[in-house]
Structure formats: structure tokens, C-alpha cells
């Protein structure tokens, strides 16, 4: 196979925009398909579903490396803005943090309010019919409501914003790593994410609103940072300072943290979640700003909850913003308890990694269905909804009735919507313990499982049935075209598992069954998501009891360690499956055996410092590259020398401005009069000039344009003999998009090639050098 001819094309560009692809690139895609044995769905083209789409519309975002403001021409701009505008910038930064916090808190509360009211209405209707012994009608109304809600959510998702399906955390994580998936932060995605999530959760699926809240927070942050939406003409020119990747990333990190804070009412947990799981680059200043945002969210939520306490919010109850109370459980423990906890953590880790494995398989299966088109997506959602309804209602149907315990503070059986003791079809003064779990919102089910001092509430068989049902439903639900979080299914399955174990070994251990449920949830979270500190803090903030911290830490450590032996964390797995070229923080060990020039190959498309318009247009048309090296040749320098890198987006702006000259001369002054630095500011994702927007006349084709003013004259470079591992570290730590490889020996062209994100991907490197065995992959 002609590798040299293939690899001269910067791989990332190929995937940017379908319309720009030409013969060369489609040739290449085909060859790539045969070249890489396990394509992981990433080279597929022309798919539309979010899941199957996996990678087709991925475009790495700009690096932190390139700021046009650093160019000589525009330095004056920077100096002049120093005085007053830096304060404006700082003021705006904090205003944004405040706004993100306010909006996310508001949306989080609205989301909860809507879910509580919709599902409350549904459950009340069902329980009224059940009380009247109209069982068939009850089932039909229950399943009917679920299907209608599910269908609405699915239709929103399938027809308006396919990108809103799923959790959204992998996409946000990939964005913050430098990979911008198509329309992942668009206004339509935000709309569908909010309403799809409300309808999806209300439809009684085993899915959560926490992942979508993170995505929602990120979308809000992105929209605010862009000053609204260009498409819907909601924008504000004053925000030009934020039209760069560093500030945008910072805002989105804040947004993700605010999302977690709003979902769990866990401000510290939100900061840690953003730090541990979502962000790829972290700065101390960001910690501080993120913390401010989550504090605002906490205050907003607290305000609303206070407001609702007086009954102003319809059916909005305690379950609204989950806050579980296990603090009454006694937190003293001995050796037997520790052994029980170690056992719980080990099995939890195994089950967690099995969960990841199965989610992966199911996602791959669903992507085939979802690819067939929007109607199929909706049908799949309806099918899963019916299955869920049947499970919930059917399994409860066959459960035994239990006499109500005496001397309870709570009424038993529960009248109304939520509560520990659902009557279902039991005689008076009895309750159906499985219905208590199934015919409730997920939040209430978790609260029931976590409740302490109620050892006898659930039968072993009930817990077992519920655990198996929820574990399986959770797996088959993730991946349907509905915004669906993974936190709640995992906590639900983990809590029932924990309570099951706690009830089983209640004779050995003195710990409360509710505490076991909490520890079980921790073990599942550790086993699937592989976070430690943030989950620990989120659970502490949820349960408001610090005394069980050591036990929670222990369980998390064990389950994460065990699960790490088998596979990656669920979000990493989804990132990989979607084909995002995610840069890991460390270089793979086999990269030490290679040098930079081993993965780069020429010939390369370069421009002269003053280049003919025709050549630029041709290069832009024929390739999908996003960066081109600029080389000065003898008229402008003594010998060929590398000036720097010019970006496609900047080239388009320059060509649009038409500062051309008939002769090959420097026209920098003219350009600096025509353009300000902010004309080159980054447009929102998917926006900005396209090649088709240019209107270059025939006679202009022969003219010249001076590229010096827009060339990044300080690109990061590595020598061709640089160890690939060290080049990868440089690329990753500095968040680059393009890295120039320069020759070691003099007398050769001044640049050997350009390394992009794709050149560091294990698939690419191992495709070139199959003999290098990868070691320790899938571990952190």
C-alpha cells in the first residue's frame, strides 16, 4: 500500500466537513478502512444517529497555542487594550461565571420541578386506578403515559438534535480535550437536552438526569460565551474577547461543574467532578472560578427549594433535588464489617466493569438500528419504554404483600405519590415492597433503598429481582435516542445490590442496611465510572454524613482497582467508541521507541510568505488541512526558512478581505489597516467562513497575498529525532493542534512535516508499526 501518498494528508481535516472532501480524501478513507483492522466505527461516513455517527463529524478545536494577538501586527492592539479592557475582560469573566451558575441552577430546578410534576401526575393516576381495583386500566394508563412521554422525547431527539442523545459527558470530555463533535454545544442540542431529559425521566426509564445536566451546563456556558446564538440572531459584539479556545474551554468547564452541582446539589462535588473526569487541562485560577459557579448554583437551588417548601410547586416533593438521609445510621464498625465492605467492593467492581462491557456491546448494537433513520430511533425508544413498563408493573404484580409494620411514623400503606409503602393490589394495611421500588421515581426508589432503620422493609427476593431488573434495564436503556444519564441507573443498581448484600449478611455485620445500600452504590459508581474523589464527595454531599467517609473511600478504592483490571471507565469507553481522537495524558510506552519523524511523512503542502491566491485556493479545495506551514524563500530571506503556521480559518478571512497585490510584495501595512485582531477571532463551532463563501474573480487568482501578518510565527516545533513519547507529552500538555517537525541537519527544507492529534493515536502508530506491542492499555 502506498503509505507515503496517504499520509501526506493531515488526517483531521478529512473529517471536518463532508462538502470539502474530494476524490483524494474519499480514496483515503476507503484505504484507511482496509488499513485499520478494528475501525471502531470511526471511519464510517454518512450516518446520522448520534451513536452510530461516532466520529464522522469530529473536528479538533484550535489549540491554546495560537493567538493572533501575538503577531507583530496586532501587538499594538493588545497593548492598547491593556488599560481598560483587561478590567472589562475580568469583569466579564466573573459575570459569566455568575450567569452560568444562575442559568444552570434555574434549569436544574426547572428540570426537577417538571419531572416531579409530570411523573407525580402519572403515578397518582395509576395509584388511583389501582385503588379502584381497575388493574388493566391502571396498567394501560401507566404504560400509555410512559410511551407517550418516551415518544415525545425520542422524536425531539431524533428529528431536532441527534447530538442530544445519551449522557453528553463523553462529548463534553472530548470537547475539553480538544475535539469538537458536530453541533454538540448548539442551541438546538440544549433545547432537546432539557426537554428530552424531562420527558425521558418522566417516562419512567431507568436513566438519570445527571449526565444531561452536565451537558446542559456546558451548552449554557458555550452559548453564553458566544453571546447567544448566531443562527437565531441572538448575539452580542462585546464578547469578542471570549472568542478563543482557552476562554471557551474555561467557560465550558465551569458549565460542566455547574451541571453536576445542579444535578446533585453538590457544589464541591461538582468542582471535583470537573477536575477529575471532565477537564483535560486544569489551572489553579479555574478551580477558583468553577467553585464560584457551583456556589451560585447551590444558592439558587437553595432559594427555590425554600420557596417550594411552602407548597407552591405542585407535586414537587422531597425527591425533587435528591438529598438522601442516612445520617441516622450508626457509623461504628469492626473487623467483620470491614471484611463485608471489602467483599462488597470487590464484587461491586466486577459487576461495574461487566456493566461497562455490556453497555459497550449494547451501544454497538443500537448504533446499527439508529443508523437506519429517525423513525427507527423512535420505535426503539417505544419498545424499550414498553419493556420497562411491563417489567415495572408485571414484576410488582407477582410480588407478595407484606403487613405494615407497627408503630411507624410514616403512614402505611402510603397514600399518594411517593413514600416507602406502596399498596399496589394488596389488602389494606399491607404493602407491596417491589411496587415501592418500581412504581416510584428513580430518586424516590434510591431514597427508599438508602433509608436506614428499616431492615425488614424489603424481602431478599424483592431486592434480588429489583437488582437484576434495574441492572439489565439500565444497560439496554443507555444508547436509545433520549438524553440519558448513567449516574442514576448505576446508583439504583448499586444501592439494590448493596442492600441485598447487607440483608444477606446482616447477621455477620452490624452495619445498617441503608448504609450498605450507600456503599453498594459507591462500589458500582467506582466500578463503572472509575472516579474516586469526586464520587466520594458527591455521595457525602448527597447523604450529608461525613462519618462514613472512610468506608466510602475504601469501597471506592477497591471497586475501582478491581474494575481497572478488566476494562476502561464507561466514559472513556464511549469516547473511544465514538471515535473521538482523545489524547491521553500520558504517552504510550511504545512511543519511546519511535522518533517524531517516524510517524510524519512528506511531501507537505506549504505556502510561501507571499503566495499566489490561486495556489491557496487550490490547496484549500484539494485538502482538508487546517494548518499550513509558511516558508520564506530567497526574495524575502537568505535561505528558505520556516515563518510559521497559518490556519485555514484565518486564510479564509484574509481571502474574503481581498487585500491582494499584483506583485510579489509585502502588504502587511495594508492588511493591518483593513483588519483588526478580532476579525480573526474564532467563530462558534460549525460557524465561520466556508470556502464557498469566497467570491474570488478570475483575474484575482493570479494576484498575490501576504501571509506574514496572519502567520503564527512562534509555532512549537520538535526536531525530527525527538522521541515520539516526548513529542506526545509536549503536544498534550500544551494542548496543541499542530506541531511542526523540523530537520536536524542543515541544508534540507526547513520543515519535515506537521504532527496533528491523529498522528499520536495508538491506532495510527500501531498501524504503521504493528510490531510494537502495546502494553498496559486500558489502564490509567
Residues 89-108 that bind a second copy (CB under 8 A): none
Residue environment code for 158-167, b if the CB has 16+ CB neighbours within 10 A, otherwise e:
bebbbbbbbb
Is residue 268 at the binding interface for a second copy, with CB under 8 A as the rule? yes
Judged by CB under 8 A, the residue of 234, 339, 546, 665 near a second copy is 546
How far, rounded to the nearest angstrom, does the alpha carbon of residue 244 sit from its chain's CA centroid? 20
Q: Would you count residue 75 as binding a second copy (CB under 8 A)? A: yes
CA-closest candidate to residue 411, choices 423, 401, 395, 399: 423
Considering the rule CB under 8 A, would residue 134 count as an interface residue with a second copy? no
- Residues 686-715 touching a second copy, rule: CB under 8 A, are 713-714
Order across the sheet with 738-742: list the strands.
717-719, 738-742, 753-756
Residue 275 binds a second copy, judged by CB under 8 A: yes
Determine the length of the chain: 780
Based on the shown chain and the rule CB under 8 A, indicate whether residue 549 belongs to the binding site for a second copy. yes
How many angstroms separate the CA atoms of 442 and 485, rounded? 12
3-class SS of residue 634: coil
Among 186, 271, 278, 513, binds a second copy (CB under 8 A): 271
Cell (9 digits) for 461? 427476593
295 is a contact residue toward a second copy (CB under 8 A): yes
Taking the complex as a whole, how short is the minimal distance between the CB of residue 392 and a second copy, in angstroms? 33
Measured from the Cβ of residue 491, the count of other Cβ atoms closer than 10 Å reads: 34
Q: Which is nearer to a second copy, 312 or 745 (CB)?
A: 745
State in angstroms the smallest separation of the CB of 321 from a second copy: 14
* Residue of 264, 291, 355, 421 that binds a second copy (CB under 8 A): 291
Q: Rounded CA gap, 447 and 129, in Å?
A: 25
Contacts to a second copy from residues 557-586, by CB under 8 A: 557, 560, 585-586
Select 521 or 554, whichever has its Cβ closest to a second copy: 554
C-beta of 193 vs 265, nearer to a second copy? 265
List the x/- string, 26-65, binding to a second copy by CB under 8 A: ---------------------------------------x
Q: How far apart are the first and last CA of the chain?
A: 34
CB of 327 to a second copy, least distance (A): 10
For a second copy, the closer CB: 294 or 454: 294
Q: Is the Cβ of residue 203 or residue 537 nearer to a second copy in the bound state?
A: 537
Among 302, 687, 690, 777, binds a second copy (CB under 8 A): 302
276 near a second copy, rule: CB under 8 A: yes
Q: Minimum CB separation from a second copy for residue 553, in Å?
A: 4
Q: How far is CA 501 from CA 69, 553, 567, in A?
A: 61, 18, 24
Residue 292 binds a second copy (CB under 8 A):
yes
Tell me the closest approach of the beta carbon of residue 638 to a second copy, in angstroms: 7
Contact 438, 396 (CB under 8 A): yes
Determine the interface stretch with a second copy among 172-180, 266-274, 312-320, 341-349 (rule: CB under 8 A): 266-274
C-alpha cell at 288: 477558583
Helices (H), 274-327: 284-309
Shortest Cβ 270–a second copy spacing (Å): 11
Residue 767 Cβ, how far from a second copy at the closest point, in Å? 21
Q: Which of 714, 306, 328 is nearest to 513 (CA)?
A: 328
361 counts as binding a second copy under rule CB under 8 A: no
Give the three cell numbers for residue 765. Answer: 502508530
Shortest spacing between CB 312 and a second copy, in angstroms: 18
**Closer residue to a second copy, CB minimum distance, 589 or 602:** 589
Given a contact cutoff of 8 angstroms between Cβ atoms, the answer to whether 681 and 239 are in contact is no
- d(Cα 678, Cα 77) in Å, to the nearest integer? 9
Which residues lie closer than 8 Å to 66 by C-beta, 6 or more apart? 645, 647, 712, 737
Under 8 Å between Cβ of 579 and 10: no
- Figure out which of the listed residues 308, 322, 518, 554 binds a second copy, where binding follows CB under 8 A: 554
| Least CB distance to a second copy at residue 288 (A) | 5
Task: Return the number of the residue (141 or 723) whose C-beta is nearest a second copy.
Answer: 723
Using CA atoms, how far residue 698 sits from 612, 613, 614, 617, 702, in Å, is 13, 10, 9, 12, 8
State the nearest-atom distance from the C-beta of 753 to a second copy, in Å.
Answer: 17
Our CA dihedral for 763, 764, 769, 775, rounded to 10 degrees, sits at -40
Query: Quick one: which of 32, 541, 611, 763 contacts a second copy (CB under 8 A)?
Result: 541
Question: Residues 91, 110, 288, 769: which binds a second copy (CB under 8 A)?
Answer: 288
Chosen residue from 285, 339, 508, 565 binding a second copy by CB under 8 A: 285
Cα three-residue angle 103-106-111, rounded to 5 degrees = 120
Residue with Cβ nearer a second copy (586 or 618): 586
- Is residue 335 a contact point for a second copy (CB under 8 A)? no
Q: Closest CB to a second copy among 268 and 620? A: 268
Supply the minimum distance, in Å, between the C-beta of residue 298 and a second copy: 5
Kindly state the smallest distance separating residue 729's Cβ from a second copy, in Å.
7
- Residues between 642 and 661 that touch a second copy (CB under 8 A): 642
| Residues 598-637 as x/- pattern, contact with a second copy by CB under 8 A | ---------------------------------------x
Cell of 710: 496572519
Regarding 777 and contact with a second copy (CB under 8 A), the answer is no
Q: What sign does the dihedral 251-255-257-258 (CA atoms) show?
A: positive
Q: Which residues contact 353 (CB under 8 A, 6 or more apart)?
A: 527, 528, 562, 563, 565, 566, 567
Largest CA distance in the chain: 97
**185 CA to centre of own chain:** 10
Residues 712-771 within binding reach of a second copy (CB under 8 A): 713-714, 716-719, 721-723, 725-726, 729-730, 733-734, 744-747
Residue number, 57 or 573, with CB nearest to a second copy: 573
Cα distance between residue 414 and residue 408, in whole Å: 11
Q: Hey, is 85 helix, strand or coil?
A: helix
In angstroms, the CA 190 to CA 117 distance is 21
Residue 2 or 638: which CB sits closer to a second copy? 638
Q: Which stretch binds a second copy (CB under 8 A): 118-126, 211-219, 482-490, 587-595?
A: 587-595
From the list 24, 59, 131, 287, which residue makes contact with a second copy (rule: CB under 8 A)?
A: 287
> Considering CB under 8 A, how many residues would be counted as binding a second copy?
72
Q: From CA 148, how far away is CA 156, in angstroms rounded?
A: 12
Write out 174-233 in H/E/C secondary structure: HHHHCEECCCCCCHHHHHHHHHHHHHHHHCCCCCECHHHHHHHHHHHHHHHHCCCCCCCC
Q: Binders of a second copy among 481-540, rule CB under 8 A?
A: 532-533, 536-537, 540
Amino acid at each position: 500500500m502506498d503509505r507515503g501518498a496517504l499520509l501526506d494528508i493531515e488526517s483531521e481535516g478529512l473529517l471536518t466537513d463532508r462538502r470539502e472532501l474530494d476524490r483524494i480524501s474519499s480514496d483515503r478513507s476507503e484505504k484507511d478502512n482496509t488499513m485499520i483492522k478494528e475501525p471502531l466505527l470511526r471511519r464510517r461516513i454518512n450516518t446520522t444517529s448520534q451513536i452510530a455517527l461516532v466520529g464522522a463529524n469530529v473536528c479538533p478545536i484550535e489549540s491554546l497555542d495560537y493567538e493572533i494577538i501575538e503577531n507583530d501586527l496586532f501587538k499594538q492592539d493588545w497593548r492598547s487594550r491593556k488599560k481598560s479592557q483587561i478590567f472589562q475582560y475580568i469583569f466579564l469573566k466573573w459575570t459569566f461565571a455568575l450567569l452560568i451558575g444562575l442559568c444552570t441552577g434555574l434549569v436544574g430546578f426547572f428540570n426537577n420541578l417538571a419531572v416531579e410534576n409530570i411523573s407525580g401526575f402519572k403515578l397518582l393516576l395509576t395509584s388511583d386506578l389501582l385503588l379502584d381495583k381497575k388493574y388493566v386500566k391502571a396498567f394501560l394508563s401507566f404504560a400509555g403515559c410512559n410511551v407517550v412521554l418516551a415518544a415525545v422525547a425520542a422524536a425531539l431527539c431524533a428529528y431536532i438534535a441527534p447530538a442530544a442523545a445519551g449522557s453528553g459527558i463523553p462529548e463534553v470530555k472530548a470537547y475539553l480535550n480538544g475535539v469538537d463533535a458536530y453541533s454538540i454545544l448548539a442551541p438546538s442540542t440544549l433545547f432537546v437536552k432539557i426537554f428530552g431529559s424531562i420527558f425521558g425521566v418522566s417516562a419512567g426509564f431507568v436513566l438519570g438526569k445527571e449526565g444531561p445536566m452536565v451537558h446542559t451546563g456546558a451548552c449554557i456556558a458555550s452559548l453564553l460565551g458566544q453571546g447567544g446564538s448566531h443562527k437565531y440572531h441572538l448575539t452580542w459584539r462585546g464578547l469578542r474577547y471570549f472568542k478563543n479556545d482557552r476562554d471557551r474551554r474555561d467557560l465550558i468547564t465551569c458549565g460542566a461543574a455547574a451541571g453536576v452541582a445542579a444535578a446533585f446539589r453538590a457544589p464541591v462535588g461538582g468542582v471535583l467532578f470537573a477536575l477529575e473526569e471532565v477537564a483535560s487541562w486544569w489551572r489553579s485560577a479555574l478551580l477558583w472560578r468553577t467553585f464560584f459557579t457551583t456556589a451560585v448554583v447551590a444558592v439558587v437551588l437553595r432559594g427555590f427549594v425554600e420557596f417550594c417548601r411552602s407548597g407552591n410547586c405542585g407535586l414537587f416533593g422531597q425527591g425533587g433535588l435528591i438529598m438522601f438521609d442516612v445520617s441516622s445510621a450508626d457509623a461504628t464498625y469492626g473487623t467483620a464489617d470491614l471484611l463485608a465492605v471489602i467483599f462488597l467492593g470487590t464484587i461491586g467492581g466486577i459487576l461495574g466493569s461487566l456493566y461497562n462491557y455490556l453497555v459497550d456491546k449494547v451501544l454497538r448494537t443500537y448504533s446499527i438500528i439508529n443508523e437506519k433513520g429517525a423513525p427507527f430511533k423512535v420505535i426503539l425508544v417505544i419498545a424499550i419504554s414498553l419493556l420497562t413498563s411491563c417489567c415495572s408493573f408485571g414484576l410488582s404484580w407477582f410480588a407478595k404483600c407484606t403487613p405494615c409494620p407497627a408503630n411507624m411514623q410514616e403512614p402505611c400503606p402510603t397514600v399518594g405519590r411517593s413514600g416507602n409503602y406502596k399498596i399496589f393490589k394488596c389488602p389494606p394495611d399491607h404493602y407491596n415492597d417491589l411496587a415501592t421500588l418500581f412504581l416510584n421515581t428513580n430518586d424516590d426508589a434510591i431514597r427508599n433503598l438508602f433509608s436506614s432503620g428499616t431492615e425488614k422493609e424489603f424481602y431478599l427476593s424483592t431486592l434480588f429481582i429489583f437488582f437484576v431488573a434495574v441492572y439489565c434495564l439500565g444497560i439496554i436503556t443507555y444508547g436509545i435516542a433520549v438524553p440519558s444519564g448513567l449516574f442514576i441507573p448505576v446508583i439504583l443498581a448499586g444501592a439494590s445490590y448493596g442492600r441485598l448484600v447487607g440483608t444477606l449478611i446482616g447477621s455477620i455485620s452490624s452495619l445498617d442496611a441503608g448504609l450498605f445500600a450507600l456503599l453498594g452504590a459507591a462500589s458500582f459508581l467506582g466500578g463503572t465510572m472509575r472516579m474516586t474523589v469526586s464520587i466520594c464527595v458527591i455521595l457525602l454531599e448527597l447523604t450529608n454524613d461525613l462519618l462514613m467517609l472512610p468506608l466510602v473511600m475504601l469501597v471506592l478504592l477497591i471497586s475501582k482497582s478491581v474494575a481497572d483490571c478488566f476494562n476502561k471507565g464507561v466514559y472513556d469507553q464511549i469516547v473511544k467508541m465514538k471515535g473521538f481522537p482523545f489524547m491521553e495524558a500520558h504517552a504510550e510506552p511504545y512511543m519511546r521507541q519511535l522518533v517524531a519523524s517516524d510517524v510524519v511523512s512528506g511531501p507537505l503542502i506549504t505556502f510561501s510568505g507571499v503566495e499566489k491566491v490561486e495556489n491557496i485556493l487550490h490547496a484549500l479545495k484539494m485538502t482538508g488541512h487546517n494548518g499550513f506551514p509558511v516558508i520564506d524563500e530567497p526574495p524575502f530571506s537568505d535561505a528558505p526558512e520556516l515563518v510559521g503556521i497559518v490556519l485555514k480559518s484565518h486564510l479564509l478571512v484574509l481571502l474574503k478581505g481581498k487585500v491582494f497585490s499584483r506583485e510579489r510584495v509585502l502588504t502587511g501595512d495594508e492588511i493591518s489597516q483593513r483588519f483588526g485582531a478580532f476579525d480573526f477571532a474564532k467563530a462558534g463551532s460549525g460557524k465561520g467562513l466556508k470556502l464557498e463563501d469566497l467570491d474570488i474573480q478570475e483575474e484575482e487568482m493570479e494576484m498575490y497575498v501576504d501571509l506574514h501578518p496572519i502567520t503564527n510565527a512562534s509555532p512549537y516545533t520538535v526536531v525530527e529525532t525527538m522521541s515520539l513519547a516526548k513529542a506526545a507529552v509536549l503536544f498534550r500538555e500544551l494542548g496543541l493542534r499542530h506541531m511542526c517537525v523540523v530537520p536536524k541537519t542543515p541544508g534540507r527544507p526547513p520543515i519535515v512535516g506537521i504532527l496533528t492529534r491523529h498522528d499520536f493515536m495508538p491506532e495510527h502508530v500501531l498501524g504503521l508499526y504493528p510490531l510494537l506491542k502495546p502494553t498496559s492499555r486500558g489502564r490509567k
